[in-house]
Structure 1
Amino acid sequence: MALVRWSPARELMNIQEEMNRLINRFFGPSLLEETELPTPTTWYPLVDIKETNNEFIVTAELPGMKKDDIHITYKDGVLTIEGERKQEKEEKDVNFHRVERRYGKFYRTFQLPAMVQEDKIEANYKDGILTIRLPKAEEAKAKEIEVKVS
């Protein structure tokens, strides 16, 4: 596994994102909001990042989105996933009893611990799950070294 330079700013951003997610999850819609039309709210898709010897695999939950509403960029070791989950349609003369689904724009960035082959990054979106495969650059792959005992 490669060494990664520690960035206090990145750590603070990660803490802020997690706190926002926890606050939104804990408080959710208030009793007053339950009879109002849904409004765009900040939300964050849940993401898993796995590492193998040859690649990083990023999986994000993006239910109810169209692939054209998802944008992925990679630059200088930073993967960015952004997009917008749009509300189906506005309904008139309807009183909601509960509004739990979130809509609106999101923006997530992740610092990967090793460089990747940018020209070989692949993304697939199926059944609400985004999977991004980022092959490691040759110099980032783990190498086994045989130790000879004399």
Structure 2
Amino acid sequence: MTDFLASVYPWTKSLHVISVIAWMAGLFYLPRLFVYHTEKAGEAPVLPQTFEVMERRLLRAIMNPAMIATWVFGLALVFTPGIVDWGSAWPWVKAAGVGGMTWFHHWLGLRRKELLAGTCTVTSRGFRVMNELPTLLMILIVVSVIVKY
């Protein structure tokens, strides 16, 4: 199995990067939709319904598959011989960052359900602040992988 993983390494790495880009796009955009959703909640009923459709499609059609693909291709890279040096700090830092991204993804999914139910207590300002989290995690992950400290 490890010989196979080594032989398809460039493809695995390419697919991993593509899925990360798609996932990150969703992690950046969905909280911004929540900002607009919370700000327009009391206005014409068509606006919140439009946001609900956009949020559902983004989460289910783009973000969920991209997160799963990121994990699948990322784990394939982990098991590819010679790629990860577990004696270094960087793979642990990256793993923590990916765990944080995954937590944030699920946190957004829970907030979407609350917005649908009308029980969300996060303000538009709160969503703006939380929108910075994926950027910070991305910086942590990229620096750890590139610098490999």
> What TM-score do the two structures reach when normalised by structure 2?
0.29
- TM-score if structure 1 supplies the norm length? 0.28
